[in-house]
Amino acid sequence: MIVCKFGGTSVASAEQIQKVANIVKSNPARKIVAVSAPGKRSDDDIKVTDLLIQLANAALQHENTEEKLQTVVNRFRAIADGLGLDHAICDVIAEDLRERVQGDKTNVELFIDSIKAAGEDNNAKLIAAYFNAIGMPARYISPKEGLVVNDLPERTFALPEAYANLAPLKDTKEIIVFPGFFGYTKAGVLRTFDRGGSDITGSILAAAVEAELYENFTDVDCVFSANPKVVNDPVEIKEITYREMRELSYAGFSVFHDEALMPVYKIGVPVNIKNTNNPLAPGTRIVPSRPATGRPVTGISADSGFSTLYVSKYLMNREVGFGRKLLQILEDENISYEHTPSGLDDISVIMRSNQLTPENEARIISRVKEELHAEYVEMRHGFSMIVIVGEGMRHNTGLAARAATAISETGANIEMINQGSSEVSLVFGVLQEYENRILQALYEEFFAHAKAK
C-alpha cells in the first residue's frame, strides 16, 4: 500500500484535482490519499485557509459573516463546476461552515482551529465525491474516526492509540480520502497540527497502515541542496536520510514539515517527495540510510525569526541547577528553545521570536535577574540560523573552518556556532540581514567549487 498526500497547490483548482485523480488511478497501490485545503491558483491569489481565518476573525468580532462565508463556498463551487459535480456538495460545505461559525467561541484558539480545518475537511469530501463520479470507488473519512490527539496546552500531536485506530484502513478496498491538518481529542475537540500539518497527517496514516511508501506530492520536482530562490540552479537531492531532512526542514526547507518525519521514521517507511505537475519525475527519496557519496554536505538551509536570551553571571559554571532554573522560567511562559550555547560565565538560549511578546519578554528578564541574580540579561532579536547538513560531515576534517571562512568573507559576524553530537549538522547564528549572502557563499564553497573540481 502507498499513502499519498497532496498539498495546497496540488488541489487548488479543478484542473489540479484532475491531475491528482490521474496520479492515484495510475497505481492501484495508492489507496489512502491525504489532502490539504485548496491553495493559491496564482501568485496573487488567496489560499482557502487564509479566507477561513478572515471568516473566523469576523465571527469573533461579531460581524456579519455571510459575505466571507460565501467567498469560501464560491471557491469550492468553482472547483465543483470545473469537475462537473452537482452543486449539492457545495450545499453540504455551506452548511458545515455555518455550523462551525455558530460554534463555541469561549476558547478563541480552538474556535479558529475549527474554522481553519474546514478547508481540508470539505476539500476531502469534494475530492471523494469527484473520485466516485469518475468511477474510482472512494470514501471520505473524518479524523474523528480515529486520529486522536492530545489536549491543550501542548502543541498538537497524535496519541499512540491513533495508530491502532487507523491501522484497519490497510484493508480498504476503496480509496480513502482523508483530510489533513487536524485531529480530535478524546473529548471530541478539534485541534490542528502546526504549519504543514497535512504532511503530518499523511505520515501518521503511512505509519498506521505500515505503508511500503509515503508519497508527498507538492509543486516541485525534488528537494534542492539550497533554496532555489536564493541560489541559482542548486544541485538536486536524489536521496537523503531522515536525519538530514529533519535538520534541513527545521531551518527553512518548506517542502516537507520537519515534524512529519517522526511517525514514518519510527517504523522505517520511506518518503518520496514528488511533483503533481510532473509525476514521472523520480523526486527525492527520504530513507533511513544511504550510501556515502563524495560530497560531505547534502544541503544548506536558512531560517530567520530567532531571538536570543543572553545571561551573564560570574562563576555560573559552579552553580548547580542554574541552567535548569533558567529553562524553567521559559517553560513557565510556555516557550520552547532551539539551542543553548554557553561559556563559563554566560549562556544564550535561542528561541523562535514568534513566541515572544513585550509582556512575556519583560517577565522573563525580570525573573532571571531577581531569581537567578544574573549580572546581565538581554533579549536580542533579528537572528537567522544557517544550517549545514550531511551524513558525511563527521568524516570530513576542516569543514567547520571552511564554513567559517566562507561566512567571514561576506562581512558577517558569527554570533553562535552549535554542532550536535551526531555531527550531522552544523548551525551558525548570524544577523538576519546577512542570511541570503551567507547562503550563497556557503553553497559556492561546498557545491559550486566541488562541482568545478
Per-residue pLDDT of the chain (453 residues; tens, 9 = 90+): 999 999 999 999 999 999 999 999 999 999 999 999 999 999 899 999 999 999 999 999 999 999 999 999 999 999 999 999 998 999 999 999 999 999 999 999 999 999 999 999 999 999 999 999 999 999 999 999 999 999 988 889 999 999 999 999 999 999 999 999 999 999 999 999 987 789 999 999 999 999 999 999 988 888 888 888 899 888 888 998 988 888 887 666 666 766 788 899 889 999 999 999 999 999 999 998 887 776 788 999 998 999 999 999 999 999 999 999 999 999 999 999 988 888 899 999 999 999 999 999 999 999 999 999 999 999 999 999 999 998 877 777 788 899 999 999 999 999 888 876 567 888 899 999 999 999 999 999 998 765 544
Q: pLDDT at position 243, please?
A: 86
Residue 120 labeled ligand binder: yes
Q: pLDDT at position 421, please?
A: 57
Cα–Cα distance between 192 and 155 in angstroms, integer? 9
DSSP state of 88: H
Cα–Cα distance between 100 and 95 in angstroms, integer? 9
Q: Extract the C-alpha cell encoding 198.
A: 497535512
Residue 436's CB: how many other CB atoms inside 10 A?
17
Residue 6 labeled ligand binder: yes
DSSP string, 130-196: HHHHTT--EEE--GGGT-BBPPTTSPP-B-HHHHHHHGGGGG-SSEEEEE-SEEE-TT--EEE-STT
Contacts 24+ apart (CB under 8 A), 153-158: 153/334, 155/194, 156/182, 156/183, 156/191, 156/192, 156/193, 156/194, 156/197, 157/193, 157/259, 158/183, 158/200, 158/204, 158/263
Q: pLDDT at position 452, please?
A: 44
Residue 8 labeled ligand binder: yes
| Distant-in-sequence, close-in-space partners of 26: CB < 8 Å, separation ≥ 6 | 279
Residue 153's CB: how many other CB atoms inside 10 A?
7
Q: Kindly give the interhelix angle for 88-101 and 48-60, rounded to the nearest 10 degrees.
A: 40
Task: Write down the pTM of the prediction.
Answer: 0.85
Give 88-147 pLDDT, tens digit per residue: 999 999 999 999 999 999 999 999 999 999 999 999 999 999 999 999 999 999 999 999
Residue 215 is inside which H or E element, if any?
A: strand 213-218
Q: pLDDT at position 453, please?
A: 42
Q: pLDDT at position 252, please?
A: 64
Residue 49 labeled ligand binder: yes
Q: Extract the C-alpha cell encoding 447.
A: 557545491
Cα–Cα distance between 68 and 38 in angstroms, integer? 16
Q: pLDDT at position 179, please?
A: 97
Where do the domains of the chain lie, and which CATH numbers do they carry? 1-217 (3.40.1160.10), 297-448 (3.30.2130.10)
Cα–Cα distance between 226 and 248 in angstroms, integer? 9
Q: pLDDT at position 386, please?
A: 92
Mean pLDDT of the chain: 91
Residue 7 labeled ligand binder: yes
Residue 303 labeled ligand binder: no
Task: Check if the beta carbon of residue 400 is closer than 8 Å to that of residue 417.
Answer: yes
CA 218 to chain centre: 13
| Distant-in-sequence, close-in-space partners of 334: CB < 8 Å, separation ≥ 6 | 153, 355
Helix (H, G, I), strand (E, B) or coil at 20: helix
Burial class (CB in 10 A: 0-12, 13-18, 19+), 443: buried
| Preceding amide of 153 cis, omega within 30 | yes
